[in-house]
Each structure stands twice: as C-alpha cells, then as structure tokens.
C-alpha cells in the first residue's frame, strides 16, 4: 500500500554525475553519509551555492579545523590549509573516511574555484559547529590575543591553564570534577574569559580584517565554555550532555548567521541524529533530548528550514570498525521488511526524493511516516 503511495509521491533523481537539485527557501540541513550519498550531498550543496544564494556550509566538525578550510576556500589572509599531510593539516582528529576523504577534498577545491571569481562579500564559507576542540580553541584564542592585546593573552593563559592538564583527554576533566570533591571547577575562569572577550568586541573588531578574526576568537571562546560544561555533564545525565552539544552547535550557527547579511542562507552537514527533529523521535519523547534540527525549526521558523536525510536499502559504505582504524568498504545488509527503507525499495525506483513538506506529499503518507 505505502510503496505505491511512495512511488506516486517520489521525485526521481538523476545520476549523481548529473547536477542534482532541490529547492530550499532559506535554510537547509542535510545528512548524507552513506555510499554515493556523500557525492549527492556535495552536488546538492554546489547547486544551492551557485543558483540559490547559499553562502554558508556548516558541518559537524570543530571550529578551528573548519576555519583553516574556510581560509582556503574564501582566500582569506593567513595560513592556507590543504587537506593532505602537512605541518598543520585540517581535521587531524578525524579518520580519513570522514572529513578527510577524497569527496571532501574535491568539494573544498570546488568552493575555492567558485569563490575566486567573486567579491569577498559574496564568497561562500565553510565552518565547524562542534565542540570537541577545546585544546585547539584555547591555542587559537591565545594566539589571536597575543597579536591584538598581549596583556589579555597573558590573562587567558592563566585562566585556561586550569584546563591544560586535560586538553588531550577532556572527558577525564569531567570525571575528575565528579570524583574529586576538593577539585575546583574551571567554569568561572572560562566564563569570565568569554565575558572579557565580548566586552572588547568593538576594540578588537577594529584591529584585523573588519572583525572577522575577532568573530573566530569569539566562537572559540564560546566553544571552550560550552565544552567545559559538556564534559562535566557527560557523567551526570547523557540527555544533558547531548542537548548541551546540540545547543552549542545551533548557537554557533546562529552567531555565524548573525554576522552575515540578512539574505544569508546556510547548508548544514551532520548525522541524522542531529539534523532530524528530536520532538518526533524517541530522542525527544522518551529521553528528553533536543537536537539541531528541532532548534532550527523552533528559532528560525519551520517555513525557513528544510531537513533532508538520506537512507538506503542495501549497498556498500566506506567506514571502519573503530574510530582510528583503517577504512574498509563494508556491505550494508538489506533493509528489514518492516522498515521504511524496505517500503522505498519496493517502489521500484532506484533513487528518488520524497518531499514531505505540508501540501507537497500525500497526507496519509506523511502521517504514517511521522
């Protein structure tokens, strides 16, 4: 029954080598981390940048790493990152099968080539939303302050020194605060550092590149403050730590959009668990968690946000059994007969888009999928 309804509602997609397209009114969030879907996501994003005015690509990665890529793609002053072995490669924390893969390299070089012919204000940027770079962010803040305000840099070293013991394994900081009642939390230091930095916004913004370097330092300071809270929450309630992380990702995105023009449009690349709407899954209904997709809809307006996920019946994926292990090509087991992937497979269409926005799809199909 639902296979026929899905077949009727499906919009057949062309081969990936043909430029895919989809219309997002304001803000697109997409998760495509499997097989050919990685290339599909890149092609969709290219089309949005070229033809629909999207100027922001924000990914589930750390701000300092992504900023080195942003310097490269927007031809910004400073060290130009390359996504290959070098003294300071981007995404060192990630295995090659994630952000350091071939498809990512090709997309980054495409962004630079696209931007090279545009004025600075129209160049599309590349940004990181996550909070797992506490040590790198501290280094970036101190390096920035050493240029614009050496006395403040000295103060930053003192305040962030509280966390230095834990930068290689920040999760141990959270455990230490829980198990050692005599240990003083670093919360006051990192919050005060953030406040002092924000109080200097006007002064610092006048120093380097129209405030862009200050904005980066500001994002790093927020990251350190949120990471400190996140690692403490890891050992209390998992729902708290998850929601802290996704709230940080959303607020990073919101600050990013706030410094751009009102016409700015963003594409977010993240896993389904982040870009779906938690209110309609067990994440929200049972565990009380929230996520980026939900926060975007609630704060930016549901009519301005499109959530796009990818799924498959079977095939192969490039992955590994553990985070630091070598990449392998793994076969995906066929979908279960009681899954929506199987229903989609039974439609007989190899690759298609299902638009579930109001007035765009069969109401009964929308209700069933919800």
User: What are 164-190's pLDDT values in tens digits?
Assistant: 999 999 999 999 998 988 888 999 999
**pLDDT score, position 258:** 92
Q: What is the per-residue pLDDT for 366?
A: 83
Within a domain: 261: no
Residue 210 has pLDDT above 80, yes or no: no
Residue 27 inside a domain? The answer is no
* Rounded CA separation 370/365 (Å): 9
Average pLDDT over every residue of 48-71: 94
28 falls within a domain: no
Task: Tell me what the mean pLDDT of segment 39-44 comes to.
Answer: 85
Residue-level pLDDT at 357:
81
Least confident of 31-45, 213-227, 247-261, 336-350: 31-45
pLDDT greater than 50 at residue 33: no
Q: Which DSSP helix (H) or strand (E) runs through 282? A: helix 282-285
Confidence category of residue 279, pLDDT binned at 50, 70, 90: very high
Q: What is the pLDDT of residue 368?
A: 81
**pLDDT-derived band of residue 159, with 50, 70 and 90 as boundaries?**
very high
User: Quick one: pLDDT at residue 85?
Assistant: 43
pLDDT(29) > 60: no
Q: Is residue 318 part of a domain?
A: no
User: In this structure, is residue 186 part of a structural domain?
Assistant: yes
- Tell me if 304 is assigned to some domain: no
Span 76-100, pLDDT tens digits: 986 444 444 444 567 767 666 677 7
Helical H segments across 52-87, by residue range: 63-73
Is residue 362 assigned to a domain? Answer: no
Cβ atoms < 10 Å from Cβ of 116: 11
Residue 208 confidence (pLDDT): 72
- Look at 43 and 192; give whichever has higher pLDDT: 192
- pLDDT-derived band at 23, boundaries 50, 70, 90: very low
pTM to 2 decimals? Answer: 0.89
d(CA 91, CA 313) in angstroms, rounded, equals 31
User: Is the residue at 200 inside a domain?
Assistant: yes
Number of domains in the chain: 1
User: Which pLDDT band, with edges at 50, 70 and 90, does 106 fall under?
Assistant: very high
Q: Which domain holds residue 168?
A: 131-239
The SS3 call for residue 20 is coil
CA distances from 47 to 22, 51, 153, 267, 327 (A): 8, 6, 42, 11, 29
pLDDT higher for 280 or 34?
280
- Per-residue b/e over 122-141, b at no fewer than 16 CB within 10 Å? ebbbbbbbbbbbbbbbbebb
Model pLDDT, residue 365: 83
Residue 84: per-residue pLDDT:
42
């Amino acid at each position: 029954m639902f296979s026929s309804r899905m077949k009727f509602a499906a919009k057949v997609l062309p081969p990936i080598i043909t430029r895919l397209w989809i219309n997002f009114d304001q803000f697109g969030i997409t998760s495509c981390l499997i097989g050919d879907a990685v290339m599909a996501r890149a092609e969709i994003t290219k089309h949005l940048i070229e033809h629909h005015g999207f100027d922001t690509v924000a990914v589930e990665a750390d701000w300092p790493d992504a900023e080195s890529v942003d310097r490269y793609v927007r031809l910004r002053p400073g060290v130009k990152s390359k996504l290959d072995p070098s003294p300071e490669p981007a995404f060192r924390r990630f295995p090659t099968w994630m952000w350091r893969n071939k498809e990512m390299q090709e997309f980054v070089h495409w962004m630079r080539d696209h931007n090279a012919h545009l004025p600075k204000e129209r160049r599309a940027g590349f940004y990181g939303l996550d909070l797992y770079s506490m040590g790198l962010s501290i280094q970036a803040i101190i390096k920035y302050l050493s240029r614009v305000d050496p006395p403040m840099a000295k103060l930053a070293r003192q305040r962030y020194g509280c966390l230095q013991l834990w930068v290689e394994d920040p999760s141990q900081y959270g455990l230490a605060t829980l198990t050692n009642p005599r240990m003083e939390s670093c919360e006051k230091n990192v919050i005060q550092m953030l406040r002092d930095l924000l109080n200097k916004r006007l002064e610092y913004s006048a120093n380097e590149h129209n405030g862009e370097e200050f904005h980066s330092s500001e994002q790093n300071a927020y990251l350190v403050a949120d990471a400190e809270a996140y690692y403490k929450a890891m050992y209390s309630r998992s729902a708290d730590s998850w929601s802290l992380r996704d709230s940080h990702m959303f607020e990073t995105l919101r600050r990013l959009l706030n410094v751009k023009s009102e016409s700015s449009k963003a594409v977010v690349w993240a896993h389904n668990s982040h870009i779906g709407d938690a209110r309609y899954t067990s994440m929200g209904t049972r565990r009380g968690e929230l996520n980026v997709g939900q926060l975007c809809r609630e704060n930016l307006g549901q009519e301005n946000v499109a959530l796009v996920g990818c799924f498959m019946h079977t095939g192969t994926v490039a992955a590994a059994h553990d985070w630091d292990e070598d990449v392998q090509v793994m076969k995906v087991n066929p979908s279960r007969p009681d899954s929506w992937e199987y229903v989609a497979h039974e439609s007989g269409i190899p690759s298609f888009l299902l638009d579930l926005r109001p007035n765009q799809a069969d109401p009964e199909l929308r209700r069933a999928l919800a």
